[in-house]
A and B are shown apart, each in its own frame.
Chain A
């Protein structure tokens, strides 16, 4: 594990790694474009959903991506708003890292300092509250 962490400070390794993520995401998107997760039986079900019948933060992500790729933005947002909002940015981030752009430095300039210093904490807070609210919403709806 320490080896891996040292490797991450090497720029080339980082670019290759994010390149791998990018290839995986692209393959997944092509697959989703062609096969509908809502009607097909062959997609793996979420374990959290199966065991607890609660929605995890990732539930509905594949449906959301499929609708997004078919330009049905409203349905995409309804299935998983977090994926709808964040996935284009994550994809762009990976792409820029692979292209060799100094993304972290760029983000530091764009995002206000108050937010940037607590960015990952905010992400954590938003994800947890999103999970709680979507389950409450499902319960009362």
Chain B
């Protein structure tokens, strides 16, 4: 069921024009008013709060990735990544958005270094295993 935005009459869901006043229902559906609201809800802000024009979305802190690197790559590099992840949270809470973004970049950088480092260790280990098996 659709309600006409002009007169409020109830119409069928697939009608193109309002049966009572002739308002174009299709154009009313794609009204650009909604985009403003959806922007705010996607940023997880309560819509009752007055929107601050300097509002910045929180940069990702890559925490899940950092923890997985710590557990599975057996390298303490993952800890560095978690340190930067907590820095992202702190700086964002202190409204230092540029610094928070920088910390976020560092968090992902160290997580990548940890993952690649772990992968290379695994790779060289595998090669050494093969050489060892061939030597026997």
Given A5-B108, A8-B60, decide whether A58 and B79 contact each other with a Cβ distance below 8 A.
Answer: no
B62-80 contacts to A (CB < 8 Å): 62-65, 67-68, 70-76, 78-79
Residues of B within 8 A of A (CB): 44, 57, 59-65, 67-68, 70-76, 78-79, 82-83, 85-86, 88-90, 93, 101, 104-105, 108-109, 112, 121-122, 125-126, 129
Q: List residues of chain B with CB within 8 A of the CB of A104.
A: 44
B121 touches A47 (CB 8 A): yes
Q: List residues of chain B with CB within 8 A of the CB of A28.
A: 72
Q: List residues of chain B with CB within 8 A of the CB of A14.
A: 60
Report Cα–Cα, A90/B93, bound state, in Å. Answer: 24
> Which residue of chain A lies nearest to B83 when distances are taken between CB atoms in the complex?
A124
> Which residue of chain B lies nearest to A48 when distances are taken between CB atoms in the complex?
B74
Contact count band on A: 35 or more
A83 touches B64 (CB 8 A): no
Tell me which of A58, A94, A117, A120 contacts B72 (CB under 8 A).
Answer: A58
B101 touches A5 (CB 8 A): yes
Report Cα–Cα, A56/B75, bound state, in Å. Answer: 8
Interface secondary structure of B, over-half rule: helix
Tell me which of A47, A121, A128 contacts B89 (CB under 8 A).
Answer: A121
> Which residue of chain B lies nearest to A62 when distances are taken between CB atoms in the complex?
B72
Q: List residues of chain A with CB within 8 A of the CB of B88.
A: 120
Among A5, A47, A82, A127, the one with the most B-chain Cβ atoms within 10 Å of its Cβ is A5
25 contacts between A and B (CB under 8 A): A1-B105, A1-B109, A4-B112, A5-B60, A5-B104, A25-B68, A28-B72, A42-B129, A45-B125, A47-B121, A58-B72, A58-B73, A61-B72, A86-B67, A86-B71, A90-B67, A94-B64, A117-B93, A118-B89, A120-B85, A120-B88, A123-B63, A124-B83, A127-B70, A127-B82
Report Cα–Cα, A1/B68, bound state, in Å. Answer: 20
> Which residue of chain A lies nearest to B58 when distances are taken between CB atoms in the complex?
A104
A33 contacts B by Cβ under 8 Å: no
Tell me which of B63, B79, B89 contacts A117 (CB under 8 A).
Answer: B89
Tell me which of B44, B75, B105, B126 contacts A48 (CB under 8 A).
Answer: B75
